[in-house]
Amino acid sequence: MDRVALRGLKARGHHGVFPREREEGQTFIVDLVLSLDTRPAAATDDLAKTVHYGVVAEEVVDVVQGEPVDLIETLAERIAQVCLKHEAVREVEVVVHKPDAPITVPFDDVTITITRSRV
């Protein structure tokens, strides 16, 4: 499988279990690795035979900005399902970063990483 990676997609969302997270929102950062066979696109130089990563980026941002969920695990799953709706994508790795998580000790980042593939 070939891989197309999108790193550092940023969007403001209102996800979390605490009222402040839901009310104020916070920035989430998403990294994606889309696995697919790029040979048909390369052979024909045809965008329709690969994944349009600009469209995927917009869809992922829409998910982050969309309906709030309690857990970043749920957010990651929703993002993965959006990515897998693209016909060329066979597998996706999703990393959701929550750098402003409500933790009382110093930290750099909180992430969840999931991998999902077509059945």
pLDDT of residue 14: 98
% of the chain exceeding 70 in pLDDT: 100
pLDDT tens readout for residues 45-82: 999 999 999 999 999 999 999 999 999 999 999 999 99
- In Å, how far are 72, 87, 94 from 113, measured between CA atoms? 10, 22, 6
pLDDT of residue 119: 72
Average pLDDT along the chain: 97
Kindly tell me if the per-residue pLDDT of 88 is higher than 80.
yes
- How far, in Å, CA of 44 to CA of 52, rounded? 15
pLDDT tens readout for residues 18-41: 999 999 999 999 999 999 999 999
Residues belonging to the active site: 98
Contacts 24+ apart (CB under 8 A), 98-101: 98/26, 98/28, 98/72, 99/27, 99/29, 100/26, 100/27, 101/16
Tell me, yes or no, if the pTM score tops 0.85: yes
